[in-house]
């Protein structure tokens, strides 16, 4: 029997033909799922649709849209046992990338059909649930100034253009960072607190590898005080992230903690999972295993599954 699934679909996400994409999703998933399709609107967001879906007997809730849509659905499902299926159709698709979920329609649907449900961490940031990361300073200004029109026209390049513009106005601020076991004071241009982040979220890449199921937050501090040093630091972070190494520059610091509180002088804007939510202070706590997500099976898991399907080998003793 087909399983009951709710598909929350954002028709304005991405730059493709949403009607064709929806038909393809239905074609790919209909063999295993009986889909109840709900569309986001300006008046009715993905979070509200997900909350309504939780009142029904769906076995899985699938989100088809950009990072904003996926994040809203994930937050509604946080701390429930209902798994989230991910079909990334946005500009950056950072959530899917951080979890190793393919960003093509066919492969994402195949992951939902044959993937594995995992419990991943989420965060609680100033009372709101966080799936990816919170940024202060440079990253918040970059996100705020990347318009929807620019993102629809240029895709992820819109953030690059916005970031270059922000570098011209780079200013350091004073910050106090309080973790489980220490309090430090720094001058910074950007502070990022990550639960999960792909390599392309370069301002979060201070540590060597950001794990989404280790029960810890990763805090990256960038103290570059000029346009040239900020460019060099960003490039260094991208390179080390792609190699899986920790950053090794004097103007980049990092630490890990289950919780963190950050205060700044002057107050700084906070971006949470791509949306501006206010100004510092910022408090984030990791919630281990707070969300169920369908992700691709690892190669070893695929081999194990195939072996389990083989008949037992009978050996006759002589």
Q: In this structure, is residue 121 part of a structural domain?
A: no
Sorting pLDDT into bands at 50, 70 and 90, what band is 308?
A: low
Predicted pLDDT of residue 61:
98
Predicted pLDDT of residue 35:
96
- My answer on whether 151 and 281 are in the same domain is yes
Predicted pLDDT of residue 116:
95
- My answer on whether 94 and 169 are in the same domain is no
Share of the chain above pLDDT 90, in %: 57
Sorting pLDDT into bands at 50, 70 and 90, what band is 165?
A: low
Q: In this structure, is residue 318 part of a structural domain?
A: no
| Highest-scoring range by mean pLDDT, 68-77, 196-205, 299-308 | 68-77
Average pLDDT (1-25) is 93
More confident residue, 155 or 232: 232
- My answer on whether 253 and 152 are in the same domain is yes
DSSP H helices, 78-209, are 94-98, 105-114, 138-144, 148-154, 157-167
Strand ranges in 190-281 using DSSP code E only, listed in sequence order: 190-194, 217-222, 252-257, 259-265, 269-272, 275-279
* Residues contacting residue 45 through CB under 8 Å, at least 6 positions apart: 72
Q: In this structure, is residue 38 part of a structural domain?
A: yes
Rounded CA separation 54/48 (Å): 10
**For residue 151, is pLDDT > 50?**
no
298 has which bridge partners? Answer: none
| Highest-scoring range by mean pLDDT, 49-58, 200-209, 225-234 | 49-58
- My answer on whether 92 and 182 are in the same domain is no
- My answer on whether 141 and 271 are in the same domain is yes
Q: In this structure, is residue 204 part of a structural domain?
A: yes
Rounded CA separation 268/88 (Å): 30
Q: HSE (CB half, 13 Å, CA atoms) of 61?
A: 30
User: For residue 282, what is the domain's CATH number?
Assistant: 2.60.200.40
Rounded CA separation 224/227 (Å): 8
- My answer on whether 86 and 218 are in the same domain is no
The answer to whether the pTM exceeds 0.85 is: no
Instruction: Say which residue the tokens 């099976």 belong to.
Output: 297
Q: In this structure, is residue 281 part of a structural domain?
A: yes
- My answer on whether 173 and 247 are in the same domain is yes
Distant-in-sequence contacts of 178-183, Cβ < 8 A, 24+ apart: 178/260, 178/261, 178/262, 179/219, 179/255, 179/257, 179/259, 179/260, 180/257, 180/258, 180/259, 181/257, 182/255
More confident residue, 171 or 269: 269
State how beta strands 84-88 and 60-65 pair: parallel
Sorting pLDDT into bands at 50, 70 and 90, what band is 154?
A: very low
**For residue 134, is pLDDT > 60?**
yes
* Residues contacting residue 185 through CB under 8 Å, at least 6 positions apart: 174, 175, 176, 177
* Burial 67-88, CB ≥16 within 10 A → b, else e: bbbbbbbbbbbbeeebbbbbbb
Q: What total number of domains does the chain contain?
A: 2
The DSSP secondary-structure symbol of 15 reads S
- My answer on whether 300 and 285 are in the same domain is no
Predicted pLDDT of residue 149:
52
- My answer on whether 265 and 202 are in the same domain is yes
Rounded CA separation 236/86 (Å): 31
**For residue 273, is pLDDT > 80?**
yes
Give the model confidence (pLDDT) of 190-215 as tens digits: 899 999 988 878 888 888 788 899 99
Average pLDDT (241-249) is 86
Predicted pLDDT of residue 238:
78
Which residues form the domain of 80? 3-115+296-308
- My answer on whether 69 and 144 are in the same domain is no
- My answer on whether 9 and 71 are in the same domain is yes
Rounded CA separation 254/282 (Å): 17
- My answer on whether 93 and 205 are in the same domain is no
Judged by DSSP in three states, 118 sits in: strand
Predicted pLDDT of residue 150:
45
Predicted pLDDT of residue 159:
44
């Amino acid at each position: 029997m087909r399983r009951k699934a709710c598909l929350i679909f954002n028709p304005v996400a991405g730059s493709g033909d949403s009607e064709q994409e929806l038909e393809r999703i239905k074609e790919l998933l209909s063999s295993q799922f009986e889909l109840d399709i709900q569309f986001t609107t300006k008046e009715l967001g993905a979070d509200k649709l997900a909350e309504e879906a939780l009142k029904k007997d769906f076995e899985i809730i699938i989100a088809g849209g950009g990072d904003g849509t996926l994040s809203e659905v994930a937050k509604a499902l946080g701390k429930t046992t209902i798994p989230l299926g991910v079909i990334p159709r946005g500009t950056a698709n950072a959530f899917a990338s951080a979890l190793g979920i393919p960003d093509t329609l066919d492969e994402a649907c195949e992951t939902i059909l044959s993937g594995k449900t995992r419990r991943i961490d989420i965060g609680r940031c100033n009372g709101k649930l966080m799936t990816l990361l919170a940024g202060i300073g440079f990253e918040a200004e970059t996100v705020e100034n990347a318009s929807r029109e620019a993102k629809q026209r240029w895709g992820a390049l819109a953030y690059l253009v916005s970031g270059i513009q922000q570098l011209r106005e780079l200013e350091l601020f004073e910050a106090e960072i309080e973790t489980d076991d220490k309090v430090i004071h720094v001058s910074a241009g950007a502070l990022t607190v990550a639960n999960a982040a792909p390599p392309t979220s370069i301002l979060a890449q201070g540590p060597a590898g950001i794990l989404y199921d280790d029960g810890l937050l990763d805090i990256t501090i960038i103290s570059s005080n000029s346009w040239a040093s900020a460019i060099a630091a960003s490039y260094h972070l991208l390179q080390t992230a792609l190699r899986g190494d920790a950053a090794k520059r004097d103007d980049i610091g990092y630490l890990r903690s289950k919780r963190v509180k950050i205060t700044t002088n002057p107050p700084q804007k906070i971006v949470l999972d791509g949306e501006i939510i206010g100004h510092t202070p910022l408090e984030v706590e990791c919630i281990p295993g707070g969300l169920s997500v369908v992700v691709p099976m690892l190669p070893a898991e695929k081999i194990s599954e195939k072996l389990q399907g083989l008949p037992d080998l009978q050996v006759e003793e002589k």
